[in-house]
Structure 1
Amino acid sequence: MSQARGTGYPAPWQAAPGNQRPARRSTRPRGDGPRGAPGTRRGGLGALWDVVQSARRRPRWHAEARAAMEGLSFLSDASLELGGSLEPYKIINLIVALARRRLGDGVMLWLRAPEGDVVDLAAVDHVDPEAAAFIRAVIATHPARLSADIPPGVVLRTGQPYWIQDVTGELRRGLFPDDDQYSKFHKLRWGPSITVPMPYGDRVIGALTVSRVPGGQAYTQVDQTLAEDLARRAALALANARMFLESQEAGRALQRSLLPAHPPALEGAEVAMEYRPGTAGTEVGGDFYDVIPLADGRVGLAIGDVMGRGLHAAAVMGQLRAALRAYALEEWPPADLLARLDTMVCSLPGLPLATCLYGIYEPARPGTPLAGSRDEQPGAAARDGRAARIVLAGAGHPAPLWVPPDSDPNYVELDPGLPLGVAAGTQYVETTVELPPGSSLVFFTDGLVESRRRPLVDGLDLLRLGVAGQLARRRTDSRRADLAAARRRPPARAAAPPGPRPAGGGGGVAPA
């Protein structure tokens, strides 16, 4: 067997008498196909259709016509399978599986590295697992290079197919500098191969190599056309998956930059927060939250949702959160802060709508006892003290879930208010909630409780019952831990009654 290269390289291959000869294009050998077929040969599906049309005029080509029709069906199924995923690694494995299914006994998928001269071997498969492992080991020690005169390098540089009918001396030195490696290569049944480009736009992003075991059926023009079409579809699917992955990463980075990374350390309170996209594939949205330390140990707590998805909602959300933080640091009460936010949202182009819930948490304040009174005694109640509390105001946002320390959770009753952006000059109402020690408040957006499969009321009930179940399990675990600790504690001994001292006045052991 000999090698076939694109135009501008040494002689393509040695044609067998009466069996093979160079095609009109040096990169398109006819193999075992017909000679002098009428009509112009075209690439892609056009070439397959030419074969079908020619077969209708010449009955002796029925076998090749059937192969061409099977190829059309194969490419149609391959397009559906490749279009069903947006995960690059899954698409790479699918490309290899499709090529093995129809085009050969061994498959290698090469991808151009983002930078440098290296060509990455993304995947390799063969009917003989030892042969696939051998190729992986060879490439690991001698990586393929874009500048090398070996199939992946030539195809990525020229964008032309590369046939190998036999490994010549020149190609052997490029592929296997070690004679032992070349000897093992032949023993592992790697035979004729075709390497075709994977073009995307004006760039070749990879190459696909298919091969058959020695003595197997020779590759034909239909095989090459199928391989080229499969490689084109594979390049498109892989490029789309890469762009989708990059957009997801960019969305995550943007969302992280718009939301606080870590809650601040607070005195007398703990804050935990979590953000998850409500829709698969939508990494950027209008949901936001913020924790703003204020003077005297107070904390501003905010959560909101700009209606819509994507970059536009995220852009409005970024402006809204920045304005909210600025108003909060100016110490505006919750109702006045929402009124100012409403004016700001009404001034934005595009008439955006948003919901928001803002509250100011005030820690517990100890009382100051009067001098000389019983309030100075330890344990006495403080006369001017009060428990922790939060002052809330809402603008069309779901009310928070209040979790008391010793009873079932329930939603805070507050005036819902109109969403931001509905009408300028809207007035909002404040609600004060006392928070005994051990209380919790759960702020959330509607995406947590609302779904097309269930109404909002059912979602709110599920959240309340879920939090109640978690609280009940925590209390049960705490009681079990207390009982286990009590069982491990040794029993207290009863005090021994006083007894007479032993005679002689010496030391001794009193009876238990």
Structure 2
Amino acid sequence: MTPIARSEASHAPDAHAGATHNVAVELLLEAGVVLAESLDLATTLGRVARLTVPRLADLCVIDLSDADGSIRQMAVASAEASVAEELSNLRERQQLDPAGEHPVARVIRSGTAERLSQMAGAQLRSFAAGSEHAQFMIDRGYHSALVAPLLARQRTLGALSVLRLGDGGPYEEGDLEVVSELARRAALAIDNARLFSEVRHVEQRLAAILANLAEAITLTDEQHRIVFANQAAADLLGAPTPEELMRATPQEIMERFLILDEQGRELGIEHMPRTRLFAGEAPVPLLVRNIVRATGEERWLIARPSPVNDPETGKLLYSVNVYEDVTEVKRAQIAESFMAEASRVLASSMDYTATLRQVARLAVPQLADWCAVDVIGEDGELERVATHHADPERLALAERLARHRSPSEDALGVPEVIRSGRARLYTDITPKALAAYASDAEHLAMLQEIGATSVLIVPLAAPTRTIGAITLVAAESLRRLFQSDMALAERLGRRAGTAVESARLYTARKRIADVLQSALLPESLPEIAGVQARALYRAAGELNRVGGDFYDICECGQGRWMLAIGDVCGKGPRAAGVTALARHTLRAAAMLGQSPERMLATLHEALTRQQTGADMCTVCLVMIEPREGGARLIVALAGHPLPVLIDAAGHARQIGRAGTLLGVVDQLRIHEVECELAPGETLLLYTDGVSEAGAPEHQIGDAGLLALCAEAPALSLESFLASIALAASERAPGGLRDDIALLGVRLENELR
């Protein structure tokens, strides 16, 4: 402790006095700096409280008196943080009674400082806010206290209290003088902060008034006549000065504009908020779309009425009308909403012709009265793929107009925009300009019937080229297309152009995939005397058609046939290469007269000769040899699901024995299993895309597949395979995760 806080008995009296004086001066100087640094009340008082600890006190509390007389603790500081926190929580629960005997309450009421040189438990209990408060003071050893009023400009704002805890010495009169001076300076800072806050509030109110005056403001009477207007209102309502605006009648002003609500319904003077205010209603602010009839200029406004009543009678005298121009905000909102919906439509299908028609419907009347979309076709010719107008009867006019070609079109119209890749806006559409553009009298008559007031053409811009154009036309709705509309139209053109190009690339890839996959599967299955053979293939995705599953049937000689079905790991060109290798290797091995086990070994050798990391493959291979009274089957499996044999009664069972996956380990384990296929029985070979279709907990599985096979005798072979594929698709409503290949053979009742 410093001498002023804990003076030692051994110090000489004059030395102690000098030290005390120095500490007091130092404290007050630091307080002056702190109080001058900030006008934020809570920050300032917290720092003042911390100045006193520990040099002057063990605990410091600053309380303020609120307007209602209640006492509010504003700052507390302690040598032990836990003491300050506990006291703050306690004072929130047990506030001081302004009329009570607590020293803070007495000092605030009297405006006179108090020194409590020594406090015992009985005294603490006498002025405590409650039993919990009393116990806290006793437990913490409240020993001596100084309480000084916060006096400023003949007002007591609160009190500053410093306390010694435990066995500290009592405060002296000199200490009270220091604390009183600190309280006086703090009170002046508090009052200055209050005055600053009041001045700031006045400035804020004044700023709000000035901000409102910057908006369009009118004052109208019960007859809807404007009795006051600022220049912003005159500019908004088409008058050069406020005085001229005030001379115009309400009807003259309304006739200058087409006023619509958010849904596009036309509004009259009776719908205006000021009119409804005089009708005794409490209207809410109204958002309107304001179109200047003479120029087509469009603004979005929020009209807010406020009543001005007679102070004596309460009668409504005037309506103060504030018009907030929210055009930019509303246009941005409309643009984002429109682009979100347009993006959704464009992403909904790869049929770009259909989606562009939907986009044209979205653009009318959101962006214009007419919308047309032209796209360069695969043959290089310009094709009109979409035209839309809100009135279906006028679409016939657009179709007739599209059949006429203007001599100026290459220089001025859609072809020029496609060629340059730059948008064009035409606003000066005069009769003379139409006549110059028209190819003949009939063409001119149709152009005049369209009644275009402005035309905006933007490119359909794909990432690397321009592939078409979107034409927007403003006509009968009074609106005009301006430079500000071009940004949104160009965004639409870029988004649509990208979608069209993506759809074309998708279509091209799909065609390539279809051609390649067709080359990897047999064009048709051979005819086997006395045996029906059918196959079915379903790709997991439109562009996943290349590679994956395969099947084949080929003759091995001596009346024997090879049935093969397999699944290559992976998709795309690499899988396609492995699929071709597998199919043709098996065919070659079959022609060489190899056994099923040896065929699979030959394929394994071919796979392992591929570059490192090449490919795995599963195969189910069945050698079938039709003969009198049935057919002999030899089944060999390499990591593939077991085929299913279905008798004429619908009983199904798996046949064969599991073998090693091809292309992985060199020591193959392939087992040949012989069995018989009787007349009327069906053999089903399939890939795991069938049994694993659907979510893991809802897959068809082996048991489900056997149950489906029970229907085989009642169905043709084609229908049976189709029913299996349908069941797999139904288990996977979000789409198949793996390809499906099915190969079925059925022995006829009489062998030919």
Same fold (TM over 0.5): yes
Counterpart amino acid of 1:64? E
Cα distance 1:470–1:363, how it changes in 2: closer, same or farther (>3 A)? closer
Report the count of equivalent residues: 399
CA distance in 1, matches of 2:684, 2:575: 24
CA distance in 1, matches of 2:406, 2:347: 29
Aligned residues of 1:404 and 1:440 also touching (Cα < 8 A): yes
SS at match of 2:466: strand
1:106 has 2:370 as partner: yes
Q: Give matches, 1:38-77, under 5 Å.
A: 62-77=326-341
SS at match of 1:270: strand
CA distance in 2, matches of 1:212, 1:328: 72
1:290 has 2:533 as partner: no
Report the CA distance between 1:473 and its aligned residue. Answer: 6.3
Q: Give matches, 1:363-442, under 5 Å.
A: 363-365=626-628, 387-405=630-648, 407-442=649-684
CA distance in 1, matches of 2:408, 2:705: 57
Aligned residues of 1:300 and 1:359 also touching (Cα < 8 A): yes
Corresponding residue for residue 261 of structure 1: 523
Match of 1:227 among 484, 489, 496: 489
Q: Give matches, 1:199-348, under 5 Å.
A: 199-214=461-476, 216-279=478-541, 281-348=543-610
Cα distance 1:473–1:330, how it changes in 2: closer, same or farther (>3 A)? closer
Report the CA distance between 1:131 and its aligned residue. Answer: 2.1
Cα distance 1:413–1:182, how it changes in 2: closer, same or farther (>3 A)? same
Report the CA distance between 1:91 and its aligned residue. Answer: 2.7
Corresponding residue for residue 449 of structure 1: 691
Cα distance 1:105–1:33, how it changes in 2: closer, same or farther (>3 A)? closer
Q: Pick which of 182-191 and 420-429 moved more.
A: 182-191
Report the CA distance between 1:125 and its aligned residue. Answer: 0.6
Cα distance 1:157–1:417, how it changes in 2: closer, same or farther (>3 A)? same
Q: Pick which of 307-316 and 423-432 moved more.
A: 307-316
CA RMSD of aligned residues (A): 3.0
Report the CA distance between 1:437 and its aligned residue. Answer: 1.6
Corresponding residue for residue 469 of structure 1: 711
Tell me the alpha carbon deviations over residues 362-386 of structure 1, each in whole angstroms, 9 at most, x when there is no partner. Answer: 1114xxxxxxxxxxxxxxxxxxxx6
Cα distance 1:446–1:456, how it changes in 2: closer, same or farther (>3 A)? farther
Cα distance 1:33–1:135, how it changes in 2: closer, same or farther (>3 A)? closer
Aligned residues of 2:357 and 2:387 also touching (Cα < 8 A): no
Corresponding residue for residue 376 of structure 1: none
Report the CA distance between 1:169 and its aligned residue. Answer: 5.3
Aligned residues of 2:596 and 2:635 also touching (Cα < 8 A): yes
Aligned residues of 2:350 and 2:503 also touching (Cα < 8 A): yes
CA distance in 1, matches of 2:434, 2:458: 17
Counterpart amino acid of 2:659? G
CA distance in 1, matches of 2:435, 2:665: 78
Give the gaps of 5 or more residues in structure 1. Answer: 1-17, 19-29, 35-58, 366-385, 476-512
Q: Give matches, 1:158-169, under 5 Å.
A: 158-165=420-427, 166=429
Report the CA distance between 1:331 and its aligned residue. Answer: 1.0
Q: Pick which of 76-85 and 104-113 moved more.
A: 76-85
Q: Which structure has greater strand proportion? A: 2
Report the CA distance between 1:232 and its aligned residue. Answer: 0.8
Cα distance 1:420–1:473, how it changes in 2: closer, same or farther (>3 A)? closer
TM-score (norm 2): 0.49
Tell me the alpha carbon deviations over residues 393-418 of structure 1, each in whole angstroms, 9 at most, x when there is no partner. Answer: 0101111221222x223233211101
Cα distance 1:119–1:474, how it changes in 2: closer, same or farther (>3 A)? closer
Corresponding residue for residue 137 of structure 2: none
Report the CA distance between 1:301 and its aligned residue. Answer: 0.8
Larger radius of gyration: 2
CA distance in 2, matches of 1:279, 1:31: 50
Cα distance 1:459–1:169, how it changes in 2: closer, same or farther (>3 A)? farther
CA distance in 2, matches of 1:422, 1:262: 32
Tell me the alpha carbon deviations over residues 177-232 of structure 1, each in whole angstroms, 9 at most, x when there is no partner. Answer: 34234324433555422111112234211100111223511112221111011111
Report the CA distance between 1:95 and its aligned residue. Answer: 2.4
Cα distance 1:427–1:304, how it changes in 2: closer, same or farther (>3 A)? same
Counterpart amino acid of 2:460? M
CA distance in 2, matches of 1:75, 1:90: 17
SS at match of 2:479: coil
Corresponding residue for residue 621 of structure 2: 358
Report the CA distance between 1:457 and its aligned residue. Answer: 7.4
Aligned residues of 1:146 and 1:156 also touching (Cα < 8 A): no
Counterpart amino acid of 2:366? R
Corresponding residue for residue 485 of structure 1: none
SS at match of 2:374: strand
Cα distance 1:303–1:74, how it changes in 2: closer, same or farther (>3 A)? same
Give the gaps of 5 or more residues in structure 2. Answer: 1-239, 241-294, 300-322, 718-752
Corresponding residue for residue 97 of structure 1: 361
SS at match of 1:348: coil
Aligned residues of 2:643 and 2:656 also touching (Cα < 8 A): no
Tell me the alpha carbon deviations over residues 55-87 of structure 1, each in whole angstroms, 9 at most, x when there is no partner. Answer: xxxx99642343234324433453354344433
